[in-house]
Amino acid sequence: MPVTAIVLAAGEGTRMKSRHPKVMHRMLGKPLAWWAVNSARKAGIERIVLVVGNGSDEVRSYFSADKDVEFVEQTERLGTGHAVRVVRDALGGFGGPVVVLSGDSPLVRPETIEALVAKSTSEHNACTVLTMTPPDVTGYGRVQTDESDAVQGIIEHKDCTPEQREKLLECNSGVYCFCGRRLSQNIDKVGNDNVQGEYYLTDMVGIYVGMGEPVACVHCDDYSELLGVNSRIQLAQATKIMQRRINEGLMARGVTMLDPDQVWVGPEATIGQDCVLLPQTFVWGKTSVGCDCTIGPNSRLENATVGNGCTVDETIIVDSSIDDDVNCGPRAYLRGGTHFCKGAKAGTHVELKNSTVGEGSKVPHLSYIGDTTMGAGVNIGGGSITCNYDGVHKNKTFIGDGAFIGSDTMMVAPVSIGADAITGASSCITKDVPAGALAIERSDEKIIAGYAAKRRERLEKGNK
């Protein structure tokens, strides 16, 4: 039978002190709930149900394009047991195994979920609980066992006696695998006779034990996988753990990091062998970096495509691509669908938006190029600008192969500059320039000999 994953994401998360749902706070560029959903996917679970409540519109909006995610609204937030019951009612019951995950626990590995499901199904358990032994057990529900270590129940921390808090060290992670059929039949037996008046899913363990149904535990050796996020401090702690996990994986596959603590790589990014990631580098979204590249320092790549042998120095690349052997920076900004062809260069303090820069072309320094198609072998002089916005429309500039744009040239779009054309420095180009032509637009230079001495004399007389 196919496995269903229920991701609990309806809580308010008051300790986050935020107007946004807790599960939408981001870790390495992705919301907390995304990590739980993604782990379920990688574990081979095809049906994923996201339980939403507080801030449901924001959660639904983010996951709306994910065809494998269904939403169930928990209008009244009456606990985890109530959430599962709401899902049961919405789906008309469960069939195969049901994995319950927490949307605020982003660190659980797919392999751990797979092992949990495998044990539960192979032993035909009514419930299998994923457990851990963290250094500080405060706040966690405790797993209660008998003399033979058979599971007897789970007691929430706030419902434990002082003796139980001291002696019971095996903790509930909040991750379970249930037999769907038995869960459908018995979830209504969960009551709310506790301090909070909530329906705890953990009570299913004691219910099954009382019924004589098989209940088991799977211990997770790495307790950090199961840490939850309830505050911004815990969010930073979880981010650090995932940062280290991702970076160590990249280094094991041939990526060099001068200081792994100062490199942040998102879960969907790919980086090739023999790349060097320097400090204060951020690689977000679906960024792809080829081999033999140096990225950083102080660089951010977001949904960027980088070829082989590139240098990206103090540069931001967003929704743009550079081909092999491209050099960017320092302090360049490429955005909005910009494409640099092989061997091109974006120099110091340049910005490019929605532009194509041809093979071997250079935009060396202090320039803005927007909505431009540039051929091969073009040189853009320093301080040059494409004036592409007329207050209503964005207009295009075309620059042919081999053109030489003099420093401080203003190209007022729409305009076309032909192949091998030249513009004189400090020109304002408002008309098309034919191929091979020279375009100069500037005022005549006027020289007044001896002006400095006359000015000084005039000033001295004025001060007397």
Write phi, then psi, for 177 (nearest 5 degrees). Answer: -125, 120
55 annotated ligand binder: no
State which amino acid sits at residue 63. Answer: F
Question: How long a stretch of residues is the chain?
Answer: 464
> What value, to the nearest 5°, has the Cα angle with vertex 173 and ends 263 and 62?
55
Catalytic residue among 20, 349, 365, 393: 365
407 annotated ligand binder: yes
105 annotated ligand binder: no
141 annotated ligand binder: yes
163 annotated ligand binder: no
308 annotated ligand binder: no
Residues in CB range of 81: below 8 A, 6 or more apart = 187, 190, 198, 199, 200, 201, 202, 203, 204
Residues in CB range of 250: below 8 A, 6 or more apart = 257, 265, 271, 277
442 annotated ligand binder: yes
Query: What CA–CA distance (Å, rounded) separates 188 from 161?
Result: 27
368 annotated ligand binder: yes
256 annotated ligand binder: no
CA distances in angstroms from 418 to 83, 362, 388, 431, 441, listed in the order given: 66, 17, 18, 11, 17
200 annotated ligand binder: no
104 annotated ligand binder: yes
Query: What CA–CA distance (Å, rounded) separates 235 from 31?
Result: 11
353 annotated ligand binder: yes
Q: Closest Cα to residue 208, out of 232, 175, 183, 225?
A: 183
79 annotated ligand binder: yes
333 annotated ligand binder: no
50 annotated ligand binder: no
396 annotated ligand binder: no
435 annotated ligand binder: no
Cβ–Cβ contacts within 10 Å for residue 402, how many? Answer: 20
379 annotated ligand binder: yes
Residues in CB range of 218: below 8 A, 6 or more apart = 115, 116, 119, 128, 129, 130, 131
Whether 20 is catalytic is no
10 annotated ligand binder: yes
By three-state DSSP, how is residue 57 classified? helix
Helices and strands: H and E segment counts in the chain: 9, 41
Tell me the pairing of strands 69-73 and 47-52: parallel
Q: Which helix (H) or strand (E) holds 327?
A: strand 327-328
Residues contributing to the annotated binding site for UDP-N-acetyl-alpha-D-glucosamine? 8-11, 22, 74, 79-80, 102-104, 141, 156, 172, 230, 335, 353, 368, 379
Residues contributing to the annotated binding site? 8-11, 22, 74, 79-80, 102-104, 141, 156, 172, 230, 335, 353, 368, 379, 388-389, 407, 425, 442
Q: So which residues are the catalytic ones?
A: 365
Residues contributing to the annotated binding site for acetyl-CoA? 388-389, 407, 425, 442
Residues contributing to the annotated binding site for Mg(2+)? 104, 230
